[in-house]
């Protein structure tokens, strides 16, 4: 039996906030750092998205058995449309090959799944809408923000029609079990779970450029030998990366492009593996009569840190207050007619904003911190709360309920 | 191991941070099994003596037959200094000090060739003379006492340290609590003080600086090779009494506590207050302290029209400081240059969240403090506003800040110092 190897890349650039002081509240509503957004979209396009897309397009054109999948957050799509539309075009070209699956995700890289069903469903639907509009795609696989998943979130997604979910092979949930098998939601057994092998992913994302690592330099031969040493009866190897792994976290000079090109070509020509996209998992299950076991996740898991839980975003008091104040505005969002304020509220749900408030001091070194612009978690929190307070005022001003009463003249 | 340590003051009679630091450090050394003989110009007799031996320089009998004495005496130069010169001393107010302490160096006792000298141990107009005399006495002490290493605190004692080194041949460690670059602004630096500092640092076998900030000054401005300068952060003595939180006004209170001099940045505090008050009426600002730019600061407050919400307490000490912390909601230290800066630690110990300038040594050891550039009044105002309006931030900084400060122990600072001693002695 050939082992199935599932590559998935996530693109989730947030709208970055600029410094917004308390004395700006009520005065102006330009919260986002358009310069940074423009600069980073273009920098990432140049270093990562465009060359990586070209590399994969060439690989797909030259080998007929290469498949891969992406998730692109709605915020990223909007940023690209505004600042670097050629990224969108290059993804369209990839999708047109028929070998690339675009999965569902949240619209603004939101952590709404940790709040409630209503806000989460809103995020999922908005993302479906923008995927349909931009790429003409309706996803059947879901990749949540930072792979956040729980039994309950699984049920919500099943209700929305999703068949497969990508999530983390979290050790504290799996125990001795391998992430290389096919799992399902315990309550909706039709909902399949493909679990990430995070050790193998971190080997590339975190360690590829680490000269102190024992396996440095990591060659494709070495990496494929890691893949081969996995338990032989496990039918899946699921590798999900931030797309920035190629070209940004590991620069072009590190040899990351050659590494991927060589690895994909070798795997494509070898008899041991075959590339799949997540939506093929169901067919493979039937075809190979795989056994599927249930995975219980009563509390949310994620790909964050070593804990693989949600403490990266809601671990300390600052994050909890920001989280609470943010989602308290949901009724205002539903009633408001101010489309800009509504969009801003959605953007404020991005996981990145919360990660900047994290006080897990050691995790400062994690790759996401590359984009941290705040001198401390406290300043990140203060800035966030200032913006949120202004959004609240804006949403309140234009609610449907308030409108008829209005301000008496 | 025994250390011969030269200081200028020791609790309970202190004018500022130097004495407090000497107390913590010597006590910490005792806990690490290092014996200390502490020399000061004038001991009062009520110092805590159970963990160290204190020598008061005015009690030392000098025998002028020794050649070292003559050679030193020959070098002694009495320089009259302008009494407006402010030699270092912590947060205290120099002007009070001058008024409080009589000064002058004179013989108090003479018998044949033997004599004793009087010291004020203060910071008066005859400071330079005292420094020279102190060095002569130091040479005598170095001859009489048994010790392995010499440790001198701040420029006032460097000559004493060097004299002791010359007499005994034992290695010298000098400790920088502040430099002339922290004490005065560009163009107002005292070249005599700089000269003594330069001489002391470059004669030492090892230089301890109270922060990386100060360490860089020592390396860059005094030309001491980097490998001979180590950072030794201060700590804070655990508080025996607890500060009671008690407030008589309904508004939030934001406090500045320190000398009202250019280096402490009180002017930035005033501008920040204006920013916050424009948006938020429910807050009062308190400036506790006195100093040479007080008049300027008061005028600016009046100019900005915020005098109804901006209050001056004058110079505070002892229990008044505790009471001030007890009613504060935010403590601000906008120092332009602060070698260490112990007062934020005292605020944090009382559970008050702090906003401190990045240009302070203490910011190097704190995580649970908001750090801003002293000149960035927008950022400072924003931090204050955040602490006044977003309760989780206040709670986090208050609780974790207290725990953080309680963990800064002199015992561990002294343990590091002991290792420094050992490395110097090995050479």
| Strand runs labelled E in B57-133 | 62-63, 106-111, 114-118
Do A65 and A160 lie in a common domain?
yes
**CA quadruple A194, A208, A368, B392: dihedral positive or negative?**
positive
Place of tokens 């009044």: B377
For A:335-364, CB contacts with B below 8 A are: 359, 361
User: Are B409 and B416 a contacting pair, CB within 8 Å?
Assistant: no
Helix (H) or strand (E) holding A261: helix A256-269
Do B82 and B152 lie in a common domain?
yes
With cut-offs at 50, 70 and 90, classify the pLDDT of residue B116.
low
Which pair of tokens denotes residue A267? 């795997």
CA distance A344 to A333: 10
> A251 to each of A222, A244, A337, B38, how far by Cα in Å?
20, 9, 44, 58
Nearest neighbour of A320 by CB, restricted to B381, B389, B392: B392
Place of tokens 């920040």: B272
SS3 content of chain B, % helix, strand, coil (to 5): 45, 20, 35
Residue B243 included in any domain: no
B271 contacts in chain A (CB < 8 Å) = none
Average pLDDT on B214-218 reads 96
Give per-residue pLDDT as tens, B345-378: 989 999 999 999 999 999 999 999 999 999 999 9
Backbone torsions φ then ψ of B39, nearest 5 degrees = -105, 135
Residue A409 included in any domain: no
Query: Pick from B202, B216, B192: which is nearest to B79 by CA?
Result: B192
| Side-chain half-sphere CA neighbours of B94 within 13 A | 18
Nearest neighbour of B370 by CB, restricted to A359, A378, A386: A378
**CA quadruple B296, B302, B305, B306: dihedral positive or negative?**
positive
| Side-chain half-sphere CA neighbours of B44 within 13 A | 12
Residue A303 included in any domain: no
Backbone torsions φ then ψ of A247, nearest 5 degrees = 105, -25
Q: How many Å lie between the alpha carbon of B51 and the closest alpha carbon of chain A?
A: 38
| SS3 annotation, A39-67 | HHHHHHHHHHHHHHHHHHHHHHHHCCCCC
Query: Pick from B305, B314, B179, B297: which is nearest to B257 by CA?
Result: B314
Do A288 and A324 lie in a common domain?
no
Do B122 and B195 lie in a common domain?
yes
Average pLDDT on B45-56 reads 86
User: Are B296 and B290 a contacting pair, CB within 8 Å?
Assistant: no
| Least confident segment among A300-309, A372-381, B18-27, B90-99 | B90-99
Do B51 and B193 lie in a common domain?
yes
Chain B interface includes A98 (CB < 8 A):
no
Chain B interface includes A381 (CB < 8 A):
yes
Looking at residue B133, what is its pLDDT?
80
For A:386-405, CB contacts with B below 8 A are: 386
B371 contacts in chain A (CB < 8 Å) = 375-376
Residue B133 included in any domain: yes
Averaged pLDDT of chain B: 84
CA distance B402 to A110: 34
Q: What is the CATH number of the domain that holds B81?
A: 3.40.50.2000
| Strand runs labelled E in B50-97 | 53-56, 62-63
CA distance B81 to B95: 15
Domain count, chain A: 2
Residue A123 included in any domain: yes
Query: Pick from B29, B58, B60: which is nearest to B43 by CA?
Result: B58
A381 contacts in chain B (CB < 8 Å) = 386, 390, 392-393
| Least confident segment among A364-373, B76-85, B120-129 | B76-85
Average pLDDT on B228-248 reads 86
Q: Is A321 a catalytic residue?
A: no
For residue B209, give the 3-state DSSP assignment: strand
Looking at residue B104, what is its pLDDT?
38
Average pLDDT on B399-425 reads 94
Average pLDDT on B44-69 reads 75
The last residue of one of the domains, among A294, A328, A354, is: A294
Chain B interface includes A187 (CB < 8 A):
no
User: Are B149 and B171 a contacting pair, CB within 8 Å?
Assistant: yes
Q: What are the residues whose beta carbons fall under 8 Å from the beta carbon of B67, sequence distance 6 or more?
A: none
Q: Which residue has the higher pLDDT, A344 or B242?
A: A344
Do B159 and B215 lie in a common domain?
yes
Query: Pick from A377, B363, B393: which is nearest to A369 by CA?
Result: A377
Helix (H) or strand (E) holding A102: strand A100-102
User: Are B103 and B124 a contacting pair, CB within 8 Å?
Assistant: yes
Chain B interface includes A22 (CB < 8 A):
yes
Residue B258 included in any domain: yes
For chain B, the residue count is 427
pLDDT at B207 over 70: yes
Q: What is the CATH number of the domain that holds A28?
A: 3.20.110.20
Find the distance separating the first CA and the last CA of chain B, reported in whole Å. 16
For B:62-101, CB contacts with A below 8 A are: none
Looking at residue B114, what is its pLDDT?
63
The last residue of one of the domains, among A237, A269, A294, is: A294
Domain extent for B388: 252-406
Do B346 and B416 lie in a common domain?
no
Nearest neighbour of A317 by CB, restricted to B275, B379, B392: B392
Do B394 and B337 lie in a common domain?
yes
Q: What are the residues whose beta carbons fall under 8 Å from the beta carbon of A105, sequence distance 6 or more?
A: A10, A12, A71, A72, A73, A127, A142, A143, A144, A145
Chain centroid to Cα A284, Å, comes to: 25
Q: Which residue has the higher pLDDT, B98 or A77?
A: A77
Looking at residue A18, what is its pLDDT?
93
CA distance B101 to B123: 8
Query: Omega before B126 cis (within 30°)?
Result: no
Q: Is A381 exposed, middle or buried, given 0-12, 13-18 or 19+ CB atoms closer than 10 A?
A: buried
Do B36 and B143 lie in a common domain?
yes
Dmax over CA atoms of chain B, in Å, equals: 75
Give per-residue pLDDT as tens, A313-351: 999 999 999 999 999 999 999 999 999 999 999 999 999
Query: Pick from A20, A15, A36, A34: which is nearest to A387 by CA?
Result: A20
Give per-residue pLDDT as tens, A246-266: 999 999 999 999 999 999 999
Domain count, chain B: 2
User: Are A207 and A215 a contacting pair, CB within 8 Å?
Assistant: yes
Do B17 and B145 lie in a common domain?
yes
Do A245 and A324 lie in a common domain?
no
Q: How many Å lie between the alpha carbon of A275 and the closest alpha carbon of chain B?
A: 47
Nearest neighbour of A316 by CB, restricted to B382, B383, B396: B396
Query: How many other C-beta atoms lie within 10 A of the C-beta of residue A172?
Result: 11
For residue B152, give the 3-state DSSP assignment: strand
Q: How many Å lie between the alpha carbon of B179 and the closest alpha carbon of chain A?
A: 28
A376 contacts in chain B (CB < 8 Å) = 370-371
User: Are A279 and A192 a contacting pair, CB within 8 Å?
Assistant: no
Find the distance separating the first CA and the last CA of chain A, reported in whole Å. 77
Residue A58 included in any domain: yes
Looking at residue B176, what is its pLDDT?
95
Q: What are the residues whose beta carbons fall under 8 Å from the beta carbon of A139, sequence distance 6 or more?
A: A101, A102, A103, A104, A128, A131, A162
Highest-scoring range by mean pLDDT, B36-50, B75-89, B413-427: B413-427
CA distance A243 to A8: 9
Chain B interface includes A382 (CB < 8 A):
yes
Residue A301 included in any domain: no
| Least confident segment among A26-35, A364-373, B332-341 | A364-373
Which pair of tokens denotes residue B217? 């000054």
Chain centroid to Cα B267, Å, comes to: 22
Place of tokens 């969108």: A88
Query: Pick from A19, A138, A135: which is nearest to A77 by CA?
Result: A135
CA distance A97 to A67: 10
For residue A149, give the 3-state DSSP assignment: strand
Q: What is the ipTM of this complex?
A: 0.82
Q: How many Å lie between the alpha carbon of A108 and the closest alpha carbon of chain B?
A: 25
Residue B240 included in any domain: no
Average pLDDT on A285-303 reads 91
Do A283 and A319 lie in a common domain?
no
Query: How many other C-beta atoms lie within 10 A of the C-beta of residue A315?
Result: 20
| Interface touch B392/A22, C-beta < 8 Å | no
Q: Is B151 exposed, middle or buried, given 0-12, 13-18 or 19+ CB atoms closer than 10 A?
A: buried
Residue B316 included in any domain: yes
**CA quadruple B158, B160, B166, B171: dihedral positive or negative?**
negative
Do A320 and A286 lie in a common domain?
no
B389 contacts in chain A (CB < 8 Å) = 22, 385
Do A194 and A277 lie in a common domain?
yes
Do A187 and A246 lie in a common domain?
yes
Query: Pick from B83, B133, B128: which is nearest to B108 by CA?
Result: B133
Q: Which residue has the higher pLDDT, B58 or B349?
A: B349
Do B397 and B413 lie in a common domain?
no
Looking at residue B71, what is its pLDDT?
47
Nearest CA in chain A to B394: A318
Looking at residue B98, what is its pLDDT?
41
Looking at residue B65, what is its pLDDT?
57
Among A19, A20, A23, A358, which would you mutate to test the B interface (most chain B Cβ atoms within 10 Å of its Cβ)?
A: A23
Helix-helix angle A317-327:B391-406, to 10 degrees: 180
Chain B interface includes A311 (CB < 8 A):
no
Give per-residue pLDDT as tens, A54-75: 999 999 999 989 999 999 999 9
Do B271 and B362 lie in a common domain?
yes
Do B292 and B372 lie in a common domain?
yes
Residue B279 included in any domain: yes
For B:345-404, CB contacts with A below 8 A are: 367, 370-372, 378-379, 381-383, 385-386, 389-393, 395-397
Q: Residues of B222-253 as b/e, b for ≥16 C-beta within 10 angstroms?
A: bebeeeebbbbbbbbbeeeeebeeeeeeeebb
The partner residues of B175 in beta bridges, in order of sequence, read B153, B208
The last residue of one of the domains, among A237, A263, A294, is: A294
With cut-offs at 50, 70 and 90, classify the pLDDT of residue B136.
confident
Residue A300 included in any domain: no
Domain extent for A27: 3-294
Do A178 and A84 lie in a common domain?
yes
Looking at residue B217, what is its pLDDT?
95
Looking at residue A299, what is its pLDDT?
95
Highest-scoring range by mean pLDDT, A385-394, A397-406, B185-194: A385-394
Give per-residue pLDDT as tens, A130-176: 999 999 999 999 999 999 999 999 999 999 999 999 999 999 999 88
Chain A interface includes B188 (CB < 8 A):
no
Nearest neighbour of B382 by CB, restricted to A21, A318, A321: A21
| Interface touch A378/B275, C-beta < 8 Å | no
Do A80 and A228 lie in a common domain?
yes
For B:395-424, CB contacts with A below 8 A are: 395-397
Do A251 and A320 lie in a common domain?
no
Do A234 and A315 lie in a common domain?
no
Average pLDDT on B179-203 reads 85
Query: How many other C-beta atoms lie within 10 A of the C-beta of residue A332?
Result: 23
The partner residues of A183 in beta bridges, in order of sequence, read A193, A293
Average pLDDT on A224-247 reads 93
Do A142 and A71 lie in a common domain?
yes
Which of A146, A168, A244, A312 is an active site residue? A146
B392 contacts in chain A (CB < 8 Å) = 317-318, 320-321, 381
Do B70 and B218 lie in a common domain?
yes
| Least confident segment among A51-55, A357-361, B261-265 | A357-361
CA distance B51 to B31: 9
Which pair of tokens denotes residue A300? 């949310």
For A:319-338, CB contacts with B below 8 A are: 320-321
For residue B61, give the 3-state DSSP assignment: coil
With cut-offs at 50, 70 and 90, classify the pLDDT of residue A96.
very high
Helix-helix angle A74-83:A34-44, to 10 degrees: 90
């Amino acid at each position: 039996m050939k082992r199935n190897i599932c590559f998935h890349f996530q693109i989730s650039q947030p709208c970055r906030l600029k410094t917004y002081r308390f004395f700006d509240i009520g005065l102006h509503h330009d919260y986002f750092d358009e310069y940074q957004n423009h600069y980073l979209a273009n920098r990432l396009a140049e270093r990562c998205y465009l060359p990586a897309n070209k590399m994969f397009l060439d690989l797909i054109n030259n080998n007929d058995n290469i498949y891969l999948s992406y998730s692109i957050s709605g915020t990223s799509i909007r940023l690209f449309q505004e600042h670097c539309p050629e990224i969108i075009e290059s993804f369209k070209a990839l999708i047109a090959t028929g070998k690339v699956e675009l999965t569902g995700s949240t619209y603004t890289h939101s952590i709404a799944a940790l709040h409630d069903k209503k806000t989460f469903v809103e995020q999922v639907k908005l993302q479906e809408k923008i995927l349909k509009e931009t790429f003409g795609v309706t996803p059947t696989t879901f990749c949540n923000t930072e792979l956040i998943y729980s039994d309950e979130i699984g049920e919500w997604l099943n209700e929305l029609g999703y068949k497969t979910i990508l999530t983390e092979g979290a050790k504290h949930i799996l125990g001795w079990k391998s992430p290389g098998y096919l799992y399902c939601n315990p309550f909706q057994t039709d909902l399949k779970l493909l679990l990430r092998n995070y050790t193998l992913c971190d080997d590339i994302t975190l360690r590829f450029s680490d000269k102190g690592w024992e396996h440095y330099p990591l060659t494709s031969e070495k990496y494929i030998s890691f893949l081969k040493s996995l338990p032989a009866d496990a039918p899946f190897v699921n590798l999900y990366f931030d797309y920035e792994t190629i070209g940004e976290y590991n620069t072009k000079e590190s040899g990351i492009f050659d590494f991927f090109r060589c690895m994909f070509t070798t795997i494509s020509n070898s008899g041991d593996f075959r590339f799949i996209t997540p939506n093929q998992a169901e067919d493979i299950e039937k075809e190979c009569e795989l056994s599927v076991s249930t995975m219980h996740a009563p509390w949310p898991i994620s790909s964050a840190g070593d804990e693989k839980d949600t403490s990266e975003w809601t671990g300390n008091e600052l994050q909890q207050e920001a989280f609470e104040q943010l989602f308290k505005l949901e009724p205002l969002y539903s009633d408001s007619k101010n489309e800009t304020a509504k969009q801003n509220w959605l953007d404020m749900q991005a996981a990145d904003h919360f990660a900047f408030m994290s006080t897990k001091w050691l995790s400062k070194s994690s790759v996401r911190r590359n984009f941290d612009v705040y001198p401390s978690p406290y300043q990140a929190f203060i800035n966030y709360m200032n913006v949120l307070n202004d959004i609240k005022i804006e949403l309140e001003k234009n609610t449907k309920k308030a409108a008829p009463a209005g301000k008496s003249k | 191991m025994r250390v011969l340590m030269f200081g200028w003051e020791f609790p309970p009679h202190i004018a500022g941070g130097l004495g407090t630091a000497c107390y913590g450090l010597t006590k910490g050394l005792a806990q690490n099994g290092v014996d200390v003989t502490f020399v000061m110009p004038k001991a009062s007799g009520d110092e805590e003596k159970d963990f160290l031996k204190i020598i008061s320089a005015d009690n030392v009998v000098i025998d002028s037959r020794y050649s070292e004495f003559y050679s030193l005496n020959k070098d002694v130069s009495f320089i009259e200094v302008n009494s407006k010169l402010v030699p270092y001393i912590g947060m205290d107010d120099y002007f009070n000090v001058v008024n409080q302490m009589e000064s002058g160096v004179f013989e108090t006792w003479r018998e044949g060739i033997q004599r004793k000298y009087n010291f004020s141990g203060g910071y008066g107009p005859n400071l330079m003379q005292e420094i020279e005399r102190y060095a002569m006495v130091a040479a005598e002490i170095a001859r009489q006492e048994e010790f392995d290493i010499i440790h001198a605190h701040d420029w006032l004692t460097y000559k004493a340290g060097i004299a002791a080194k010359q007499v005994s041949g034992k290695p010298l460690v000098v400790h920088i609590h502040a430099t002339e670059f922290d004490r005065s602004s560009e163009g107002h630096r005292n070249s005599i003080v700089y000269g003594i500092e330069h001489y002391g640092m470059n004669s030492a076998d090892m230089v301890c600086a109270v922060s990386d900030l100060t360490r860089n000054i020592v390396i860059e401005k005094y030309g001491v090779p980097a490998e001979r300068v180590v950072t030794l952060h201060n700590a804070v003595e655990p508080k025996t009494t607890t500060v009671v939180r008690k407030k008589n006004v309904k508004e939030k209170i934001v406090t500045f506590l320190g000398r009202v001099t250019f280096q402490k940045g009180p002017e930035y505090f005033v501008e920040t207050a204006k920013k916050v008050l424009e948006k938020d009426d429910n807050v009062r600002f308190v400036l506790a302290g006195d100093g040479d730019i007080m008049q300027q600061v008061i005028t600016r407050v009046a100019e900005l029209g915020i005098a109804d919400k901006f209050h001056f307490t004058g110079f505070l000490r002892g229990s008044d400081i505790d009471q001030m912390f007890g009613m504060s909601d935010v403590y601000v230290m906008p120092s332009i240059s602060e070698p260490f800066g112990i007062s934020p630690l005292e605020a944090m110990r009382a559970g008050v969240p702090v906003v401190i300038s990045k240009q302070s040594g203490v910011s190097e050891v704190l995580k649970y403090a908001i750090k801003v550039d002293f000149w960035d009044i927008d950022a400072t105002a924003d931090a204050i506003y955040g602490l006044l309006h977003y309760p989780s931030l206040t709670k986090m900084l208050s609780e974790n800040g207290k725990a953080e400060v309680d963990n800064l122990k002199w015992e561990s600072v002294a343990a590091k110092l002991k290792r420094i001693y050992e490395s110097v002695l090995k050479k």
